[in-house]
């Protein structure tokens, strides 16, 4: 009886590995009432092959099925957090990033234990599924006649269900695939068809001559922050107050939405999409892109005579693409801006210190050469706790002023057990980043400052929700009215808070429209109506 029970358990495990859905939305009763064709094929092959060949087949099929089960688990994780499936070709590097975020969220010891447990679980899945396939084929070989009748009968049922299209809970009973992993493996030549590739420097960005242009990516600043969420009123209050502050200082702003190629993380896909004018939604496309000579926004500014800067406080090691592809003259990161204060979970330093150090190194010198910078602000990166708070700009020094803030704030493990607390912490982090940026403009802004404030992606689905859009707000701020006059044809809305009716562009459309608007001939812009991103 015990042996028979083990055999039944093996059949159930093989069946679960075949029918378990790889998408959270498909976790339903109907998903587990399917008849997988692959299971029938495994049994049929085991009956048809000689004993030795059958064992070899079972071992190979078991390993493959175990790996597919692991990929399903990874798919579920990626869809739950990033809103997309796992790419087994190019996404393995993201696991390291996820481990880093986990360490920042729950501490190094608990993260190490969680990672070790996850690895052991995946190994156990692989071993158990392989052993179950071997057990299944041995059992059917010992009961060859009854197994042949059973697989024939179930095969007939499967065929009838397939012909009649029988479904349970929206899922077809006749399942034809254990797991669908569709991933693009061949991409177009990303450097082709660039209308600005050969544009001389004197014909680029003529409408911004003499301006200091900052592209500030605010981590996880998505549509959820400003619309249709319980916390959006608080964020909107900050945006409306900021609009009034800027207006009092002589600045104007125009806002809209861009559709990001990513959600919940992997920010560099959004950065490269905005900069290159290409839709970069996978690591594979990113790797291909940075190996080309595609003109980026920073490369265009450099060609036109600007000093170019990449400011990436989350980076802890050299980044060769910053010079080879983005063509930055200088790159600041966590190691070279003199910060002596504490880290705040993922954020190596507060946004206010990042902006203060940038101002001192690049803008404070009178009559400095015009600067174009991409500044990545990461205080609003998950786990969104603890958070710093604003101090006087003349108090920042080497960052020691922030020493007590990290210890006094909420720790990630105290909020991440409660989704409402996670959402509240996210909203507070966005308010901090936006308030810091506006305080920076209020304190240091002059007639030559142009700020492009843009979100990189929506927050993780625990905040944005399943099925959320990938839209992120974008705002251009300037004191010189001629700067915003150049984009009057875009139809963007006045102020820092875009309404639900604001224009929505795919993020890869921004580069060409920006370079056209600020080129020597502000010709009629391309239509602002956006097709769905590819």
Sketch out the chain's domains with CATH numbers: 2-175 (no CATH), 225-517 (3.40.720.10)
Cβ-contact 520, 305 below 8 angstroms: no
Instruction: Produce one character per residue of 75-97: b if its CB has 16 or more CB atoms within 10 Å, e if not.
Output: bbebbebbbbbbbeebbeebeee
Instruction: Produce one character per residue of 362-389: b if its CB has 16 or more CB atoms within 10 Å, e if not.
Output: bbeeeeeebbbbbbbbbbbbbbbbbbbe
Note the pLDDT of residue 77.
Answer: 66
Q: How far apart are CA 287 and CA 321, in angstroms?
A: 10
Cβ-contact 330, 365 below 8 angstroms: no
- Tally of CB atoms within 10 A around 461: 19
Q: What is the dihedral of CA 25, 235, 455, 203, to 10 degrees?
A: 150
Q: How far apart are CA 345 and CA 415, in angstroms?
A: 13
363: helix, strand or coil: helix
Q: Detail the DSSP E strand segments found in 53-173.
A: 167-168, 171-172
Cβ-contact 338, 397 below 8 angstroms: no
Q: How far apart are CA 181 and CA 152, in angstroms?
A: 29
CA distances from residue 258 to 75, 221, 278, 353 in whole angstroms, order as listed: 26, 11, 13, 27
Q: What are phi and psi of 276, to 5 degrees?
A: -100, -20
Note the pLDDT of residue 154.
Answer: 54
Q: What is the dihedral of CA 267, 294, 274, 447, to 10 degrees?
A: 120
Task: Please report the sign of the dihedral spanned by the C-alpha atoms of residue 268, residue 269, residue 270, residue 274.
Answer: positive
Q: How far apart are CA 239 and CA 485, in angstroms?
A: 22
Note the pLDDT of residue 63.
Answer: 72
Report which of 40, 34, 4 is spatially closest to residue 16, judged by C-alpha positions.
Answer: 34
Which tokens go with 309? 């800067």
Report which of 313, 322, 326, 444 is spatially closest to residue 377, judged by C-alpha positions.
Answer: 313
Which tokens go with 469? 């859009």
User: Along the 534 residues of the chain, how does pLDDT read in single tens digits?
Assistant: 566 666 667 666 665 666 565 555 455 544 555 556 565 566 666 556 676 766 677 677 667 777 777 777 776 666 666 665 666 655 666 666 666 666 665 566 666 776 787 778 777 777 777 777 667 676 666 666 665 666 566 556 545 555 555 455 445 544 555 444 434 343 454 556 788 988 999 999 999 999 999 999 999 999 999 998 888 999 999 999 999 999 999 999 999 999 999 988 889 999 999 999 999 988 888 888 988 999 999 999 999 999 999 999 999 889 999 999 999 999 999 999 999 999 888 889 999 999 999 999 999 988 899 999 999 999 999 888 888 999 999 999 999 999 988 777 677 777 777 888 888 889 999 999 999 999 999 999 999 999 999 999 999 888 888 888 999 999 999 999 999 999 999 999 999 999 999 999 999 999 999 999 999 853 444 444 333 443
313: helix, strand or coil: coil
The residues with which 218 forms a beta bridge, in sequence order, are 377, 455
CA distances from residue 171 to 20, 165, 176 in whole angstroms, order as listed: 12, 10, 11
């Amino acid at each position: 009886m015990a042996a028979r029970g083990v055999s039944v358990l093996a059949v159930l495990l093989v069946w679960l590995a075949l029918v378990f859905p790889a998408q959270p939305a498909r976790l339903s009763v109907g998903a587990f009432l399917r008849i997988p064709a692959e299971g029938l094929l495994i049994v049929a092959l085991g009956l048809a092959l000689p004993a030795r060949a059958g064992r070899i087949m079972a071992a190979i099929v078991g390993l493959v099925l175990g790996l597919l089960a692991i990929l399903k688990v990874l798919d579920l994780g990626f869809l739950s957090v990033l809103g997309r499936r796992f790419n087994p070709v190019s996404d393995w590097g993201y696991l390291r990033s996820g481990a880093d975020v986990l360490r920042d969220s729950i501490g190094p010891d608990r993260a190490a234990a969680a990672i070790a447990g996850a690895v052991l679980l995946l190994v156990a899945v692989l071993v158990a599924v392989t052993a179950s396939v071997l057990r299944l084929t041995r059992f059917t070989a010992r009961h060859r006649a009854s197994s042949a009748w059973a697989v024939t009968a179930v095969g007939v049922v499967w065929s009838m269900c397939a012909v009649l299209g029988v479904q349970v809970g929206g899922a077809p009973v006749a399942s034809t695939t254990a797991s669908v992993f569709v991933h693009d493996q061949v991409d177009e030549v990303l450097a082709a068809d660039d209308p600005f590739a050969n544009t001389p420097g004197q014909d680029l960005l003529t409408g911004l001559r003499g301006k200091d242009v900052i592209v500030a990516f605010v981590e996880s600043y998505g549509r959820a922050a400003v619309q249709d969420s319980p916390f959006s009123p608080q964020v909107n209050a900050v945006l409306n107050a900021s609009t009034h502050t800027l207006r009092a200082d002589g600045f104007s702003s125009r806002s809209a939405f861009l559709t990001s190629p990513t959600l919940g993380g992997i920010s560099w896909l959004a950065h490269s999409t905005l900069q290159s004018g290409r839709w970069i939604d996978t690591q594979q496309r990113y790797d291909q892109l940075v190996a080309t000579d595609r003109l980026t926004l920073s490369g265009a500014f450099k060609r036109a005579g600007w000093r170019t800067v990449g400011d990436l406080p989350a980076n802890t090691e050299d980044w060769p693409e910053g010079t080879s592809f983005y063509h930055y003259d200088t790159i600041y990161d966590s190691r070279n801006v003199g910060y002596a204060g504490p880290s705040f979970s993922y954020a190596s330093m507060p946004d206010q210190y990042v902006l203060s150090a940038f101002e001192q190194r690049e803008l404070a010198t009178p009559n400095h050469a015009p600067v174009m910078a991409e500044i990545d602000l990461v205080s609003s990166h998950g786990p969104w706790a603890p958070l710093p708070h604003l101090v006087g700009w003349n108090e920042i020094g080497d960052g020691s002023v922030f020493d007590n803030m990290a210890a006094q704030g909420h720790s990630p493990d105290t909020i991440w057990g409660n989704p409402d607390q996670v959402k509240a912490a996210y909203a507070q982090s966005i308010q901090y980043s936006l308030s810091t940026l506006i305080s920076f403009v209020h304190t240091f802004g002059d007639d030559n400052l142009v700020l492009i404030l843009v979100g990189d992606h929506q927050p993780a689905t625990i905040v944005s929700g399943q099925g959320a859009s990938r839209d992120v707000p974008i705002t251009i701020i300037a004191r010189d009215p001629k700067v915003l006059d150049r984009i009057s044809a875009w139809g963007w809305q006045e102020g820092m808070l875009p309404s639900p009716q604001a224009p929505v562009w795919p993020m890869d459309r921004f580069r060409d429209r920006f370079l056209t608007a600020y080129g020597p001939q502000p010709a009629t812009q391309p239509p602002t109506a956006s097709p769905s991103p590819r």
